[in-house]
Amino acid sequence: MASVDVGIGLLGYGTVGSSVNRMLVEGADEIERATGHRLRVVRALVRDPKKDRPFPAGDGVLTSDFAALRDDPDVHVVAEVMGGISPAGEYVRELLGAGKAVVSANKQLIARDGAELFAAASAAGVQLRFEASVCAAIPVVKVLRESLVVSNVHRVLGIVNGTTNFMLSRMERGGSYADALAEAQAHGYAEADPTDDVTGADAAAKMAILATVAFGSRVRYEDVERRGIEELEAAHVSAAADLGMVIRLVGIATLLDGAVDVRVQPALVDRSHPLAAVDGAFNAVMLQGDAIREITLEGPGAGGLETATAVVADLVSVVGTSGTGFLQNDACWRELDRLPPVEWSSEFFAHLEVSDRPGVLAHVTSRLAAHDVSVAQLVQRPADGAATLELVLHRAPLGEVSGALREISAFPEVLRPPFLLPVIR
């Protein structure tokens, strides 16, 4: 088979970009055997071409001039491994407009500007792929778009942020939120500024992309209901343990009667549930559909080489396929309504701090009953003249549970606003 030389451009040559080059160099023979193409990095855009690189690029490959990469006729496909919305977004638009296929590892860009970028790719007749933007090495986009194309996936549950998963696993073994964050930073799992991870922003972008692909309808980053882990206390983690559960930051995308709900929030997960076994910095995505019932994919959700695996897989897919079509381009083919958040239903866990007086419990349960919410499990603990009530509530709409808890917070014997999380079994 005659080999075809394909020039690759990289936007960025950092942790992921240099790993992509390493894999293309070290795996060149395997890629050629599989595809008949020899992929070679011919240009890579960086801020500082003089900086030392862990896997050096070839002579003359690094440039700080975007136009040199865009206008190079030897660059056929580009991997965007630079990050950020701007200038990465403008560069990707220009490259697509110039007729170059792009693969991106940039979750924030795809989750925010996907609609516009896919339209630009489609207009130019080139591919835009994004496997590496969600869960690094886990090939979940390909599984959803290709393997499960007729499976009517109606629910996606995911642990899609390794930093918070590491922190929550750490808190389970004892220690405060601050201890867990310090340890995640010491291991290099959390950045010096961990905001995107702990507020759920990183997970929300990934869940927006997964829901879009799973349901075939655009879900943007802003559409995702989001709550981070910053309010979690050691007491919540140990209360969950007493109930046979763990707390995880979970992404939940639901398609119910033609309406969609996507949320990221800490949840209590039953110890026997597959997501409870996801420990440390790993990611997992569980896909539920009529025919497939349940498929769980688990693996490393970050790291240079891990993410580069997905970038290289997308590059290989681009050169191994041609033209545009459903598999290569925009996953969306329909508009879905948004499920009103109050109608989203789940089992819930509520943690209440109350004064230790007779009748409090009856008062709380009667308010819940007034909203048709019933109690499945109850743990009451005395604490210095006060008491904590830990309630597991049967499945009920979020609006009813929140309404009841709003009324309960107004009771004089309730000392702090109740803390509410969904339960996943």
Ligand X SMILES: NC(=O)c1ccc[n+]([C@@H]2O[C@H](COP(=O)([O-])OP(=O)(O)OC[C@H]3O[C@@H](n4cnc5c(N)ncnc54)[C@H](OP(=O)(O)O)[C@@H]3O)[C@@H](O)[C@H]2O)c1
Closer of 52 and 335 to ligand X (Cβ): 52
Contact (Cβ atoms closer than 8 angstroms) between residue 339 and residue 254: yes
Using CB under 6 A, pick the residue from 46, 79, 246, 269 that binds ligand X. 46
The pattern of x and - marking residues 266 through 305 that bind ligand X according to CB under 6 A reads ------------------------------------xxx-
Using CB under 6 A, pick the residue from 161, 212, 307, 345 that binds ligand X. 307
State the catalytic residue, choosing from 100, 107, 142, 206: 206
Nearest to 113 by CA among 313, 265, 330, 317: 330
* In the complex, least distance from residue 111 CB atom to ligand X, rounded to whole angstroms: 11
Contact (Cβ atoms closer than 8 angstroms) between residue 250 and residue 269: yes
Using CB under 6 A, pick the residue from 83, 274, 280, 399 that binds ligand X. 83
Contact (Cβ atoms closer than 8 angstroms) between residue 269 and residue 275: yes
Closer of 54 and 417 to ligand X (Cβ): 54
String of DSSP letters for 88-153:
HHHHHHHHHHTT-EEEE--HHHHHHHHHHHHHHHHHHT--EE-GGGTTTT--HHHIIIIITTTS-E
- From the list 40-48, 142-150, 254-262, 411-419, the region that binds ligand X by CB under 6 A is 40-48
Q: What are phi and psi of 306, to 5 degrees?
A: -60, -45
Q: Does 47 bind ligand X (CB under 6 A)?
A: yes
Closer of 89 and 266 to ligand X (Cβ): 89
Site for ligand X in 115-154 (CB under 6 A): 132, 136
In terms of Cβ atoms closer than 10 Å to its own Cβ (0-12, 13-18, 19+), residue 316 is: buried
Is residue 107 part of the annotated active site? The answer reads no
* In the complex, least distance from residue 342 CB atom to ligand X, rounded to whole angstroms: 33
Using CB under 6 A, pick the residue from 45, 159, 198, 423 that binds ligand X. 45
Q: How many CA atoms lie within 13 A of 149 on its CB side?
A: 9
Site for ligand X in 62-81 (CB under 6 A): 81
Site for ligand X in 329-368 (CB under 6 A): none
The pattern of x and - marking residues 17 through 36 that bind ligand X according to CB under 6 A reads x-------------------
Using CB under 6 A, pick the residue from 23, 24, 105, 224 that binds ligand X. 105
CB atoms within 10 A of CB 334: 9
Q: Does 418 bind ligand X (CB under 6 A)?
A: no
Residue 117 in tokens: 């970028």
Residue type, 235: A
C-alpha to C-alpha distance for 360 and 295, rounded to whole angstroms: 44
Contact (Cβ atoms closer than 8 angstroms) between residue 245 and residue 260: no
String of DSSP letters for 45-95:
E-S-TTS--SSPPPTTTEES-HHHHHT-TT--EEEE-S-SSTTHHHHHHHH
Q: Does 97 bind ligand X (CB under 6 A)?
A: no
- From the list 41-49, 168-176, 228-236, 363-371, the region that binds ligand X by CB under 6 A is 41-49
Q: Does 187 bind ligand X (CB under 6 A)?
A: no
Q: Does 13 bind ligand X (CB under 6 A)?
A: yes
Residue type, 237: V
* In the complex, least distance from residue 294 CB atom to ligand X, rounded to whole angstroms: 26
Strands, E, within 174-326: which ranges? 225-226, 245-256, 259-270, 282-289, 293-300
How many residues form the binding site for ligand X (CB under 6 A)? 23
Question: Which residues are tagged catalytic?
Answer: 206
Residues that bind ligand X (CB under 6 A): 12-17, 45-48, 51, 81-83, 87, 105-106, 132, 136, 302-304, 307
